[in-house]
Structures are given as structure tokens and as C-alpha cells.
Structure 1
Amino acid sequence: MSHQSSASRSARRFGVLLAASALVLTACSTPSAPGSDSDDPAATGDSTGVTDTTVTIGTHTPLTGPAAAGYSSISAAATAYFEYINEEGGVHGREIEYIVKDDGYNPANTQTVVRELVQQDEVFAIVNGLGTATHQSVLEFLNQNKVPDLFVASGSTSWNQPDKYPFTFGFNADYVVEGAALAQYAADELPGTSVCMLGQDDDFGDDFLTGLETALGADGVAHVERYSVSNQDVTAQIGALQAAGCEVVTLATINGFTALAIGTAAQLGWFPQWMASSSGADYPTLQGYLGDAAPQLLQGFIGTNYSPMGDDDWVTLFREINDEYNDGAPFDGNTIYGMSVAYTFAEALAAAGEDPTRESLLEAITSGDLQGNGIAPLAFAPDNHAAYLTVGITSVDQGVQDYIGTTYEVRGGAVTAVEPAPVALTGNGIPG
């Protein structure tokens, strides 16, 4: 039976299931926290998914399908970090159980597996659900059911709407921030050059273009080409950018299309300055696509990032965890990303108290006290559900990708150069 048939039946039952789940959650919205005095109002709250020994969370991610090759390693890396922290005693004595469900990068499947996580597995929170279209399909459901929807794996600005979606928080620096930072770097370091864009024909490309125009002005982008991810040929777009005389090409692309664009341009004998958002700028992944030509084609390649990289204590720790708890899987930007997300959740859980509730978890995140492990401390606040408003500029030199020291904060429509303030590793990466 096809997924479409199953999805159709699920859709017909959705209203009934949603109403039922709302009644169930209303009935149990104020249970006493584990081990607390039920007569103490301060100790009440929704502790779904929490026992005396465990905290159960879940995620949706593509373990199969066309996006699996690029993204399935993220949840594996997060799982490895949770195994590391559990072996060290967990958080407040509780182990973190991470249920990973495959949605094949299909929104219909996402709706099915997220309902399972909430209604059957009764998770405490959804953590790092992956994909823009996939996660948008469950935004309303999670917020209506008051399930913490944490650290979405996408740079869409959809996740930063505290009034509309109070339970949802992003993790990636959003595409507006990354586009603005790259454009400002081009203006600062390559003044007078023709800055162009190649990007997806969806929200990714739209937000990224908004970021470019934030820094360069409405007329500052010389030429724009868009493509559909369903078409694995960008020859026409690359040819148009070349014909337009573009000197700097900024990319709103995932890694596979970054490599496709650079490889296609090389075949045409064209070598502009390439700049890409973090979604398409991971050197080890690009090297996998481009092979032996990567060091030459990517020399001087500019990107953005907000996670630890290069010669960093966090990277050293994550390599050790990867070797011991992740079967020595290939170590790349996805590994660092997955473990960084897992650490951030553990930090929030530690700050939520010895007897955490969904309410205390959200209070911990919006308190402004969480640091994370990035290029700058986390930016979460009651009126901001975006994790990073600051990104660093990265460059590839002789096959090594690292920060170059140039860092931008993008806030309130302004792009400001700031000093990097990376969060130092403490406590062997175990919060609290």
C-alpha cells in the first residue's frame, strides 16, 4: 500500500485524533513533577515523558530517501552524544532517551511519525526535527498540543515567531542572517564587485535573498538565478550568471547543489568567488562530491558558520565521542552539528531543574542564561526564538576550512561586525 493512501486515511482521522489528544493533554497538563509534593503549586506542571530515571524525547529526520545521504548522520551524532552523557550519569540522574523516526523527507510521513511520538511514545519534547517543508507540516499540531518543539534543523524564519508559535525554537542561524553576513563580507572585502545569487526556488532562496538585500540594498544584487531541487542540472543557471558578468556568486544551496554549481562552472571554464550559507558550505561533504578536484576548486571558498570548527576543544571532544559512541563514523560538519544540538538540549534540561516540566524547560530556554557552544552565546529570549543571530565567516585554504576571525551580528535589519566570542568547553561537555 502506498504512502499516499496511508497519508490520506491519516488525514481523514486527523481532526478526531487532534481533538482526542487535546483532551488527554488537558487532563494531564498539570501533574506533579516526579518526586514532588502534589500540594505544592510551584512543583506542578506537564512532566509528560519524564520518569525518575529517564527523559524521553524524539525527532523526525530522513533516514531513507533522497535526503538521507546528506542528513541521516545528524541524528546518529546526537544519539552518540546522549549515550556519552548517559554513561556519565545523565542530567540530574536521568538518562536521555532519543527516539529517531524516519520521515523520508516527506511532509505526509512527518505528520504520521510526529503524531506517533506525541500520542504513543509520549515524548517530553521534539528535538531537532529536520527540514523546512517537513517541519512546517507539524508546527500547528505541536503548538496546539503544547509540546516543546526545540531547535528545528532548518534556517527558515518560520521558527522564530514567539507570539504565533510559543513552543517552537530554531537552531540554525536563519537564512536572512547568513545572506546578510555574506553580502556584508563581500561589500567590506570585495568592494565594487558584481554580487549575484544562485538559490533554491523556495523559502530558502527567498529568505537568503532578503538577507543579501539587507546588506546591499534592494538594487545591490546584480543578478539572481533560481532552480528546483527536483532538477539535477543547473547548466542554464550557471551560464546565465557567467553571461551576466557575476564576480561573486552567493549560494542558497544544500551541499549537493553547491558542488553541482561549482563543478558545472569549472566545466565551463568559469571561476568566480563562491560564497555559501552553512547549509551548503561543509568542506568534508563537498569534498565527497567533488573528489580529487575539491582542494583546487574550493580554494578560497567562503562560507558562514556558527558551530565549533577547526582547532577547537569542542571539536576534539566530539571526535572522541564519535570514535567511541558512533562507531567511528565519518567526522564532518553534520557530526559537529548533531552533537552541538544534543549538548544544547542537555544544557536546557539541566537548567530546567531537578524535576523538569515542559514549562520549566521553556523558561530555561527563554531565560537568556543558556550559552550553547557556538561562535557566540545563544540568543534565545522571550521575544526571540532564534538560536544564533551571529555568524562567523569561514574560508578554505589548502584543504582546511576554518573561521577567519570576521564575524557579523544581524539584528533588527542591521548588519554589524563584532568580535567573535566562542563559548569555551567546560565540564567535558556535560552541563550542570
Structure 2
Amino acid sequence: MRNGIFRLLTGTAVAIALTASAAYAQKKYDPGATDTEIKIGQTVPFSGPASAYATLGKAEAAYIKMINDEGGINGRKINLIQYDDAYSPPKTVEQVRKLVEDDEVLLTYQLVGTPPNAAVQKYLNAKKVPQLFSATGASRFSDPKNFPWTMGFNPNYFVEGRIYGQYILKNHPDAKVGVLYQNDDLGKDYLNGIKAGLGDKASMIVAEASYEISQPTIDSQILKLKDAGVDLFFSASTPKQAAQAIKKIAELNWHPVQIVDINATSVGAVLKPAGLEASKGIISVIYGKDPLDPTWKNDAGMKKYLDFMAKYYPDGDKDSNFNTYGYTTAQLLVYVLKQCGDNLTRENVMKQATNLKNVQLDLALPGILVNTSPTDYRVNKQLQMMKFNGERWELFGPILEDTGPAG
């Protein structure tokens, strides 16, 4: 009898030990993750030449506060550490090193801008720290072979440029095209993309003009393009320079067809400063719902966004597509972290982010889903054309999906 009890107790002890061991094994942490916290780092240009993007970081911080108020992720609160890098790559390097080595974040998230991201890409990959959903679409940030720890969020700039080239061929086959581009990976990817879209008609581009982000104005570049006889103007730029270009074109009483890249489509940060009348007729692309579009008045996802803005970011412009962008990227981050469960390692963060299947986000246009794979890191591969009517953007044409090479 005693032997039977002993065997029973031993079996129970073994079962308890196995259960405890299994429970322990289920939890895996890298620096920045504990039973109560997930520490994440971000740099944002709260000041400097690209400070129009500051609201992205504010919207993302507000979304994370909402998630924490609701109990966090699998019982853990997100600790988002944000530093101002003023869109200065050397400062980004300094701040990201601080995030990784001093703050010991689990991952970096939504570092803003192409030059800042480029400055820390090799460092983060060498450290095997996720550079997750970077706020850029340059091709080098969707290159899993060479940079497996880096994943951009924005539509690939080369692919977007190729879509514009194809649009021009179909709708403006006799155009004399002029391109203004930022002299970095952002601008060069767009320039190469539009040339790829034009194919053997790339000679339609009769003039190109580059600018440095630090330049106070781009007036001389606009004059150069006008003097070259351009009648279709493509602006591969960021908000400040995009607004300057639109305004200058109006001042010159010049009337080319105008296309702006997706980074420069904010009504509040670009088109209003440039002049709404001057912006009328401008063409671009989008993948998300516009709060100004009455189409989404009763849309469930839009209602969630507007409720969020009212409660958590009341000082923010609810109509800004920078804020809808911040909401969307934060929603996808939360989705990935939930998928990680109790395996909060850097490797598993990347595994979950690179295996997204048909993820429907609140503000994505109908029919647009997020799909990624270990060989295709691009988050946004579907776009729709749109035109500004003087008050808001109007969608036109079908959902476009370009799954060709990203650069």
C-alpha cells in the first residue's frame, strides 16, 4: 500500500514538474521583454526639416496608450520609448544605439524617414534587433536576403514609381515628363521606378532635378523643369518640398499635370500650405481610407479611428492621413506582438511579422489585405489611384497590385 502511495506521489510530483517545466518553456524572452512589459524604441523627427512627420509618433504613442489602458498585450504593457532625431542620420545613430544598448529595447519600431533608417540598418542587423515597420518604402528596407532584421512599412517606392510610369503611358503617352526628387534612396528609388514603368519610353523624361533635404527652397529646381518644357511633373519628395513645389508652380502660372508620391499627400501638412486651389487635380496613390471622404462616414473601421482620436489624441488633426497612418502601423504592431504570445524573442517577432496572412486593418481600403512571407517583406503591395478635387482626395480606377521585383 505504501509503495502504491509512494508511486502515486512520485507520479504526481513528476506531473507537476513537467507542467511547471512546460509552462516555463512556453515563456521565452529577449532583452526588453518580461512578464509585465514589452519595451520598444522609436526615433521621430519631432523637430527639424521633416517635423511634419512628428504627428506620426504622437498618434502611435496614443494608440499604444489605448492598448495599455485596455490591459496591454497578453497581460503585458508596452513601454514605447521615443527620441527626437530631427531627421538627422548622425543623431539617429546616437539615439538608436541608446535604445539598444542602454534602454535594451526588444525591437525598434517605425523609425521615421529613409536617411535615418539607412544610417542604422547595418547596425541593427549586426545586433539582430528588429527594425520593424520602418517609415520608409525604399527598396533596401525590403531586402530579406541582405537585411533579414529590417522590414519597411510603406509601399515600395520603386514599385510605386513604376505604377506612375505605367499610368503616364496609358493616360499621357505624349507627355514631356519632369522629375523633382530628393537626393537619397527615397528619391532615387522613385526616379528608377518611373523609368522602369515607362520602359522603352523612358526618354519621355526630358528633365530631372534633385534637392537636398537641408535646402531652404527648391525654386531653382522648379524653374529648371519649367524651362525644359515639362508638361507632366512628378514630385518624388517629402512634405515640405512637395508643398513648396506646388506653390511655386502656381506662382509661375504653370499648369503641368502633377503627380506626387504617397509621402506628400497630407491635406493638412502639404496641400493646405501649398494652397488648396493650387493643389486641385494632383494625382497620387493610397492604400487607406481618407477621413475626409464621405464614402467612409458609416464605416466601422473609420468610426473606431475617430473614437480613438477623440479620446486619445484630441489635439491631433483627425483628418490627417499622417494620423491614420500612425493608427494603422500601431494596429499592425499590436497584431504582431499578440501573435508572438509568450515567445517574445527578437527572432519570433520577425517570424510573426514575415508570416502575415490576409490581415485586415481598420483603415485599409476594401480588398486590401496585409500578406508577407520570409522572401517578401513588403507590407503594402496594393494601391489605388486618387485625384485631389480641391477639398479632398477622390479614388478612381481599380485596386492595383504590383508584385514585380522591388527595385
Count of matched residue positions in the alignment of Structure 1 and Structure 2: 376
Q: Residue 191 in 1 paired to residue 173 in 2?
A: yes
TM-score for both structures, normalised by structure 2:
0.86
Q: Residue 64 in 1 paired to residue 47 in 2?
A: yes
Q: Which residue of 2 aligns with 1:349?
A: 337
**Retained in 1: the 8 A contact 2:219–2:248?**
yes
**Alpha carbons of structure 1 residues 145 and 172: separation in structure 2 relative to 1, 3 Å:** same
Q: Residue 52 in 1 paired to residue 35 in 2?
A: yes
Structure 1 residue runs of 5 or longer lacking an equivalent are 1-35, 416-432
Q: Residue 146 in 1 paired to residue 128 in 2?
A: yes
Q: Which residue of 1 aligns with 2:241?
A: 257
Pairwise CA distance, 1:38 = 5.5
Q: Which residue of 2 aligns with 1:384?
A: 376
Question: How far apart in 2 are the matches of 1:352 and 1:60?
Answer: 23
- Secondary structure, in 3 states, of the residue corresponding to 2:79? strand
Report matched runs for 1:165-204 at 5 Å. 165-204=147-186
**Alpha carbons of structure 1 residues 55 and 275: separation in structure 2 relative to 1, 3 Å:** same
Q: Which residue of 2 aligns with 1:424?
A: none
Q: Which residue of 2 aligns with 1:336?
A: 324
Pairwise CA distance, 1:355 = 4.1
Return the index of the structure with the highest Cα Rg. Answer: 2
Question: How far apart in 1 are the matches of 2:333 and 2:165?
Answer: 32
**Retained in 2: the 8 A contact 1:180–1:214?**
yes
Aligned residues with identical type, % of pairs: 29
Q: Which residue of 1 aligns with 2:226?
A: 242
**Alpha carbons of structure 1 residues 105 and 307: separation in structure 2 relative to 1, 3 Å:** same
**Alpha carbons of structure 1 residues 228 and 109: separation in structure 2 relative to 1, 3 Å:** closer
**Alpha carbons of structure 1 residues 405 and 356: separation in structure 2 relative to 1, 3 Å:** farther
**Stretch moving more, 130-139 or 186-195:** 186-195
AA aligned opposite 1:334: F
**Alpha carbons of structure 1 residues 285 and 315: separation in structure 2 relative to 1, 3 Å:** farther
**Retained in 1: the 8 A contact 2:50–2:239?**
no
Question: How far apart in 1 are the matches of 2:240 and 2:155?
Answer: 20
Q: Which 4+ residue blocks in structure 1 deviate beyond 4 angstroms? A: 36-42
**Alpha carbons of structure 1 residues 390 and 358: separation in structure 2 relative to 1, 3 Å:** same
**Alpha carbons of structure 1 residues 194 and 37: separation in structure 2 relative to 1, 3 Å:** farther
Question: How far apart in 2 are the matches of 1:306 and 1:47?
Answer: 34
Q: Residue 80 in 1 paired to residue 62 in 2?
A: yes
- Secondary structure, in 3 states, of the residue corresponding to 1:395? strand
Q: Residue 301 in 1 paired to residue 282 in 2?
A: yes
Q: CA RMSD in A?
A: 2.3
Q: Which residue of 2 aligns with 1:400?
A: 392
Question: How far apart in 2 are the matches of 1:369 and 1:400?
Answer: 32
**Alpha carbons of structure 1 residues 377 and 403: separation in structure 2 relative to 1, 3 Å:** same
Q: Give a deviation string over 1:220-255, Cα, whole Å, max 9, x none.
A: 423222222332333332223223322211110112
Q: Which residue of 2 aligns with 1:131?
A: 113
**Alpha carbons of structure 1 residues 350 and 223: separation in structure 2 relative to 1, 3 Å:** same
Question: How far apart in 2 are the matches of 1:134 and 1:254?
Answer: 14
Question: How far apart in 2 are the matches of 1:198 and 1:399?
Answer: 25
- Secondary structure, in 3 states, of the residue corresponding to 2:96? helix
- Secondary structure, in 3 states, of the residue corresponding to 1:387? coil
Q: Residue 232 in 1 paired to residue 216 in 2?
A: yes
**Alpha carbons of structure 1 residues 139 and 337: separation in structure 2 relative to 1, 3 Å:** same
**Alpha carbons of structure 1 residues 101 and 205: separation in structure 2 relative to 1, 3 Å:** same
Q: Residue 104 in 1 paired to residue 86 in 2?
A: yes
**Stretch moving more, 246-255 or 369-378:** 369-378
AA aligned opposite 1:280: A
Question: How far apart in 2 are the matches of 1:106 and 1:353?
Answer: 35
Pairwise CA distance, 1:413 = 4.5
**Stretch moving more, 47-56 or 307-316:** 307-316
**Retained in 2: the 8 A contact 1:37–1:43?**
no
Structure 2 residue runs of 5 or longer lacking an equivalent are 1-18
Question: How far apart in 1 are the matches of 2:220 and 2:389?
Answer: 29
**Retained in 1: the 8 A contact 2:28–2:342?**
no
- Secondary structure, in 3 states, of the residue corresponding to 1:185? helix
Pairwise CA distance, 1:300 = 1.4
**Retained in 2: the 8 A contact 1:46–1:359?**
no
**Retained in 2: the 8 A contact 1:347–1:370?**
no
Question: How far apart in 2 are the matches of 1:367 and 1:42?
Answer: 23
Report matched runs for 1:402-421 at 5 Å. 402-413=394-405
**Alpha carbons of structure 1 residues 350 and 370: separation in structure 2 relative to 1, 3 Å:** farther
**Stretch moving more, 369-378 or 131-140:** 369-378
Q: Which residue of 2 aligns with 1:27?
A: none
- Secondary structure, in 3 states, of the residue corresponding to 2:402? strand
**Retained in 1: the 8 A contact 2:49–2:213?**
no
- Secondary structure, in 3 states, of the residue corresponding to 1:223? strand
AA aligned opposite 1:185: Y
Pairwise CA distance, 1:65 = 2.4
Question: How far apart in 2 are the matches of 1:277 and 1:50?
Answer: 37
Q: Give a deviation string over 1:377-423, Cα, whole Å, max 9, x none.
A: 224210122211222212111401142244322222599xxxxxxxx
Q: Which residue of 1 aligns with 2:12?
A: none
